[in-house]
Amino acid sequence: MKDRIPENELLMGGHLACPGCGGALAMRLVLKELGPKTIVVLPACCWSIIAGPYPQSSLKVPLYHTAFETGAAVASGIRAALDIQGQHDTNVIVWAGDGGTFDIGLQALSGAAERNEDFIYCCYDNEAYMNTGIQRSSATPWGAWTTTTPSKHPQATDKKDILAIMAAHRIPYAATASVSYPVDLVDKVKKAMSIRGTRFLHILAPCPPGWKFEDERAIDMGRMAVQSRVFPLVEVEHGTDWRFTMDPEHVPVQDYIRAQGRFRHLTDEQIGHISDAVDYRYEHLRDLAERSQAKV
């Protein structure tokens, strides 16, 4: 693993993340590969706090705080300015949560993707608006508790398939990743850096206070999400060429669900509903991957 992940550290100690924060680890790993010639655009999210109060920052790269809905638009402008100056080798990334990607920032992201703007968009997904008090987003899984979907009235809709939405824009590269599989994550960042145009990384970032599990289990939780096929690790190029990048040993969906307090109110029948939905989506992805392979 040491040979695959750069040793440089661009995230400093003393940041303001919660213990066990998947979003902090995601930033650390992504910046290791991107390197110091990187500008981070940061719409409102947990990381607006984690980074520290302006003008201080826990990052060793330039950081641009911006409004919730404007991440992709701001990145487009920064990229244009850098290109005018001839700084084509500077990486521009948006670092947004699920709220700023699935919901409030989707319009700007869609517009940038349609224009094929040249930046990397990273969504670190902790499956709710965690910074403001664990409110549900359209990334919140069916049946989950949040402060706006309490146990008697849990999340009633399925999680939005953001990867399929981005693939439908026919952007050059889109992928899912997990902090629990760091080599796979860093490899995808490296691949994204080798491509021009809009690149999208959907990174699952387990959240101990929001998902209700022990701080030290964040990596276990992310690994179980992949092993249970709740969060498959895939990539797609130009919206048509799909492939699995990892397909680890399978564990039951029930094991993943029961490990989180946000699902403790669910019955066995309801967990069965989640398992059926997971199986359906996994088979759909496998079909896409097999058809893509058949074209080669």
Query: Rounded to 5 degrees, what are φ and ψ at 43?
Result: -70, 170
> Facing residues of 199 across strands?
120, 173
**Per the domain annotation, does 175 fall within a domain?**
yes
**Per the domain annotation, does 128 fall within a domain?**
yes
Residue 17's pLDDT is 97
CA–CA gap between residue 189 and residue 175 (Å, rounded): 10
Q: What confidence tier does 78 reach under pLDDT thresholds 50, 70, 90?
A: very high
Residue 296's pLDDT is 64
Task: Write the pLDDT tens digit of every residue in 82-98.
Answer: 999 999 999 999 999 99
**Per the domain annotation, does 8 fall within a domain?**
no
**Percentage above 90 pLDDT, the chain:** 94
**Per the domain annotation, does 109 fall within a domain?**
yes
Total number of domains in the chain: 1
* Mean pLDDT taken over the chain: 97
**Per the domain annotation, does 12 fall within a domain?**
no
Task: Write the pLDDT tens digit of every residue in 133-190.
Answer: 999 999 999 999 999 999 999 999 999 999 999 999 999 999 999 999 999 999 999 9
**Per the domain annotation, does 13 fall within a domain?**
no
- Contact criterion met (CB below 8 Å) for 51 and 58: yes
**Per the domain annotation, does 9 fall within a domain?**
no
- pLDDT above 70 (res 50): yes
CA–CA gap between residue 72 and residue 2 (Å, rounded): 33
CATH code assigned at 124: 3.40.50.970
Q: Which domain holds residue 125?
A: 22-295
Q: Which residues contact 144 (CB under 8 A, 6 or more apart)?
A: 127, 128, 136, 154, 155, 262, 263
**Per the domain annotation, does 32 fall within a domain?**
yes
